[in-house]
Amino acid sequence: MKSVSFLIILLVLPLSPIAFALLGDKTGFVQHLSIETGGYNFDVETISSFDITDYEFNSDEKRLTMFISSTVQNNLAEIQIPKNLINGNFTFYLNDEQIEADVKGNERISFITLEFPGDGFYKLDIIGTTYLPEFSTIASLVLATSLIGILFLKKVNKRIIH
């Protein structure tokens, strides 16, 4: 029995530093932010070295705000925002101070990478220049088509009456 206990202790001791080590700065939390706006649901995916404790979206300001809690000194985030939600030229603010970020994308998403130093609590604002862009284009086409249809019907009614 003593030899089995001794063997277990020998196996567990080398693993204990690994088991109780602090997470590194490059560890990623995957979080999905569900945003409902304009009658649609959008999924913003983040992979970051910090926790997003809360978030809000303001469609009038085309702004996504994330409230962050970080326990590491070198913060890194990769954020995927659907282009149908907000798009255009992005501006980024960390605690109301403008910061730089790398923005890439394809036809569906904007892929944002940003870094900032320091642990603690932060507010990150991501501001776009367009909101629901594909839907606003469709609305313009519907309006123009409706106007042409009304003018056509008005002209046809005049011919029928005279």
Residues 4-62: tens digit of each pLDDT: 555 455 454 454 344 444 444 556 889 999 999 989 999 999 999 999 999 999 999 99
Which residues does residue 142 pair with via DSSP β-bridges, in sequence order?
none
Tens-place pLDDT, residues 96-153: 999 999 999 999 999 999 999 999 999 999 999 999 865 555 556 666 677 787 877 7
How far apart are alpha carbons 11 and 77 in whole angstroms?
37
Ordered alpha helix ranges (H), the chain: 2-12, 16-19, 133-161
> What are the counts of helices (DSSP H) followed by strands (DSSP E) for the chain?
3, 12
pTM of the model: 0.68
- Residue 133 confidence (pLDDT): 64
- Residue 22 confidence (pLDDT): 43
Domain residue limits, the chain: 21-131, 132-162
- Residue 143 confidence (pLDDT): 64
The strand pair at 51-58 and 102-105 is best described as: unpaired
Query: For residues 156 and 113, which has the higher predicted lDDT (pLDDT)?
Result: 113
- Residue 15 confidence (pLDDT): 44
Per the CB < 8 A criterion, the answer to whether 70 and 50 are in contact is yes
Which residues does residue 103 pair with via DSSP β-bridges, in sequence order?
112
Domain 21-131 belongs in CATH node 2.60.40: yes
- Residue with tokens 């604002």, as numbered in its chain: 125
